[in-house]
Amino acid sequence: MIDSKFQTPNPKSQINSNHQYLNKEGKSFSISVTVKDQGRRIDQLLSETDLNLSRSQAKHLIEQNHILLNEKTVKPGARLKSGDIISGIVPAPQPLSLIPESLSLSVLYEDASIIVIDKPPGMVVHPAPGNPSGTLVNALLYHCKDLSGINGALRPGIVHRLDKETSGVMVVAKDNEAYHQLIKQFKNRKVEKVYLAITYGNMKQNEGLIDAPIGRHPDQRKKMSIRTTRGRIALTQWKVLERFGPFTFLEIHPKTGRTHQIRVHLSAMGHPLLGDPLYGRKAALQDQKLRECIKRMNRQALHALQLQFNHPFTGERVQFIAPIPQDMKETLDCLRSIT
């Protein structure tokens, strides 16, 4: 892990004559619209202030009549004029109806704005039907005693995800400002990610770029696919680290963040991840030792090794590394011993 000393905050996006105060209902505010913001949508402008609202949050608050324009209700798309007064209340965050759980967490770094963890394989990020507890969010609610309101609730801010059986480094926001700063970096591709993967097949080239849009599979709704009419741009850069005859060890740099992106792209190349139950293959492995290693690993051989981004409080570039886990180490050692 590499971290830095965090001292000087970034200047927030401010609007002239922006007055705020807290009361028991939440954050009251009043904003005077200036000439430079004339003609803009009210929801767009609110998403760029130090209220730390996303555009969808601003839209929701306007529709719920929490935010007024010149003391009148308004639509989210209303256009502003110089001298208009935007006022209202951002409701105080409410406790989330999730149970904090004392689960083991491998914390790589933590401060008042973010927590960086090494997620183990087998842990789901979010509670969902079938996984109501034992998730990363449940663990973070127990671990983080200093959470502030994020999107209207007292909860950790999940800004990106790893699949249940993918291990490795994740950053989580602890307050609303950090959440929106990190979301913006992911959206603008300012976050650098590095993964390690073991795939089936001998990759003939040493490196390459997969450029294939990804969307929902046309027939199997649990899967994503490059064979879709509504695919979104997806870019995956890869290079070979080691070859083991019918298997290859890769370093992967995803340039976009689509659901199952690495798994889908490698499978589409004819080199699915070792152990991937959804996009992989059922191969008859001759070596008993290797069969036992893969059985013990019991997941896709994919690990999020490194994450690099600008710290949301200081703007300083930081990097965090989650060491390759023991199950993938054992599988690599096994592959080396039989080739």
Residues labelled as active-site residues = 163
C-alpha span between 148 and 157 (Å, rounded): 10
C-alpha span between 16 and 14 (Å, rounded): 7
Q: Is 119 in contact with 136 (CB distance < 8 Å)?
A: yes
C-alpha span between 192 and 252 (Å, rounded): 11
Run of H or E including 8: none
Beta carbons within 8 Å of 255's beta carbon, 6+ residues apart: 189, 235, 236, 237
Q: Residue 87: name the closest of 66, 64, 58, 56 by CA.
A: 66
Q: What is the CA radius of gyration of the chain?
A: 23
C-alpha span between 138 and 101 (Å, rounded): 5
The tokens for 1 are 């892990």
C-alpha span between 201 and 259 (Å, rounded): 23
The tokens for 128 are 């969902």
